[in-house]
A and B are shown apart, each in its own frame.
Chain A
Amino acid sequence: MRKSLDYIIEAVIFICGILSIVFVVLIFSFLLKEGLSFFKDFSFIKFITNQFWYPNSKIPSFGILSLISGSALVTLGACLIAVPIGVMTALFISEIAPKSIRDILKSLVELMAAIPSVVIGFVGMVTVVPLVKNVFNLPTGLTAFSGSIMLALMAIPTIVTISEDAIRSVPWQYKEGALALGATKWQTLRRVVLKAAMPGIIAAIMLGIGRVIGETMAVMMITGNAAHVPHSIFDPIRTMTSTIASEMGETVRGGMHYKSLFAIGLVLFLITFLVNFIADLFLGKNKNL
């Protein structure tokens, strides 16, 4: 009796564990099926090098160069803001802050991760967008830069929590050794702790990028959605994710437009897969330390 109960529970746990893998495989194969059938009628090279996205024209043009560059620009901007702030915060929390402040800071950062993206988008729309317009004297505040600021807010919690783990797992002997050799606290932090924790920090940054590039709602609300190749970070842009989200509702199942959105999804999936893969490589390195 006890044995069979054991067996059943083991089986249930196995099924639950295997289910998530099954789901990923199913989602990926569905994406592949719908996305690849698009490339039968439209060349892949043209898809990613043409910059005109007019899926509903009489002679439709499916070029996602403008969307890819929009996504890339807003992600790059968000990284430039989020990485220094995130890594510094992680250093402060794990190495400098006294225990009482550390606990408050940590839970606040974790709380930040829980803010829904539509709320971040809404707050950005009424505060950051007019501010960016006035400060930089732009024709409109709906720009990649505004999007980057709000996306940075979403990436920071991811970067902070994972880099903090990495920094904390640096063996204390390293630090004591450095301090004993006469290094100052800053020298120890910079030359020893940061260096030893680097693989973990890079993994944190990669996961942060993964979060930013897949974000939809906030960028849709504040980046202006103009499907052109941007000339500067103060131009409006349109991302791959917001294109899928805003156009999926009108497409007819099985049509070219529908398939093209899946093809965008496929490109996006490949990018996030690559980013996560790199993160995993670095996380694995961290464990061998």
Chain B
Amino acid sequence: MKKIIYCLIVSVLLFACTRNNSKNIESIQIKGSDTIVNLIQVWAENFVQSHPNSNISVTGGGSGTGFASLINKTCDIAMSSREIEKKESVLAKQNNVNPMGFKVGLDGLVVIVNKNNPVNKLTLAELKDIFMAKITNWKEVGGHDKKIVILSRESNSGTHMFFKERVIRNNDINSDDEFSIHSLMMSSSQAIYDEVLQNPNALGYVGMGFVNNKIKTLSISTNEKNKFIAPTIERVIDGSYPISRPLYLYTDGNPSGIVEVFIDYTLSDEGQKIVVDTDFVPIKK
């Protein structure tokens, strides 16, 4: 028994030494938006294969969490589905952090419902009324006589912020409208997807990466007179789909070393191809 313990201690010590000696391993901490965490993960896996001396860890938590940890200097790159807020950049300055943003892709927010829901399209105004609980029954927008279950993300999510600004406040910075108190705040986009999958009364919004043929996406128009646009990659690139947004990586100051190499990789043709593969929208065709 004693021998085994001795062996264990020696091997742990040896292991510790080897870790210390290999100083050439460089690591990147990436934190932030749950929306693009899947995309970043694929980037990281491919990047590590071609750069075996690097080590990338990716954590979600929401864009706000990403900025908070960039400001607290606990991550190298903050991934975000929105631009940095004024409040956050002021705070960053106080902490001697100088956030620099890189646009790495685009995302369309997709409004999803269950396959068995007869509703196919909504205007932005209807969508706003639903999420503010002014419309509470599906029959008011052409569906069954059922109560609408509104699904939203938690307020720490960039998706929540973007949807609030684009749909609920209709891009009006003076508006103070909020999600209804009856909306269910889900802790992840996956949770919204799961609930919509099994609940014919539910309505939620997720990033384009979550879309597949088990759920239905709604076509959206800016008002009744305009055409209803289905959320497709082409419509997001040409800007006609109304609920789309850019995706960013933020670093502290000008990136250098391995972080710079990684960001160059995400913007390269190979990186942008992965954007398409993970159902997001590349910044250029």
Contacts and interface: CB of A to CB of B under 8 A. Distances in A.
Contact of B195 (A57, A140, A228, A247): A140
A133 B199 CA distance: 9
B100 interface: no
B198 interface: yes
Given A57-B176, A139-B146, A226-B181, A250 B65 contact: yes
A249 B68 contact: yes
A250 B155 CA distance: 8
Contacts of B186: 225
A54 interface: yes
B109 interface: no
B181 A59 contact: no
Contacts of A139: 146-149, 199, 201
Interface of B: 61-62, 64-65, 68, 87-88, 91, 146-149, 154-156, 176, 178, 181-187, 191, 194-195, 198-199, 201-202
Contacts of B68: 249-252
A227 B181 contact: yes
B176 A249 contact: no
Interface residues of A, number: 32
Nearest to A237: B184
A57 B178 contact: yes
Which 6 A-B residue pairings sit nearest by Cβ, starting from the closest?
A: A250-B64, A250-B156, A228-B181, A225-B185, A224-B184, A139-B147
Given A226-B183, A247-B155, 18 more contacts: A125-B194, A130-B198, A139-B146, A139-B149, A140-B149, A140-B202, A225-B154, A226-B181, A226-B184, A238-B185, A246-B154, A246-B185, A246-B187, A247-B154, A249-B62, A249-B68, A249-B156, A250-B68
Contacts of A49: none
A89 to B, nearest CB: 32
A236 B184 contact: yes
A144 B195 CA distance: 16
Contacts of A141: 199
Nearest to B156: A250
A57 B199 CA distance: 30
Given A139-B147, A225-B185, A228-B182, A56 B155 contact: yes
A264 interface: no
B78 to A, nearest CB: 12
A192 interface: no
A221 interface: yes
A217 B59 CA distance: 19
Interface in A229-259: 236, 238, 246-247, 249-252
A188 interface: no
B199 A252 contact: no
A142 interface: yes
A252 B146 contact: no
A139 B201 CA distance: 6
A225 B156 contact: no
Contacts of A224: 184-185
Given A140-B202, A246-B154, A225 B184 contact: yes
A246 B198 CA distance: 24
A253 to B, nearest CB: 8
B113 to A, nearest CB: 13
Nearest to B72: A253
Nearest to B185: A225
Nearest to B175: A58
Interface in A27-67: 51-59, 66
17 contacts: A51-B181, A52-B181, A57-B178, A66-B181, A130-B198, A139-B148, A140-B199, A140-B201, A221-B187, A225-B186, A226-B181, A246-B156, A246-B185, A249-B64, A250-B65, A252-B87, A252-B91
A53 B178 CA distance: 11
A55 B160 CA distance: 14
Nearest to A252: B91
A97 B148 CA distance: 49
B87 A220 contact: no
A129 B175 CA distance: 36
B185 A226 contact: yes
A59 B176 CA distance: 8
A58 B181 contact: no
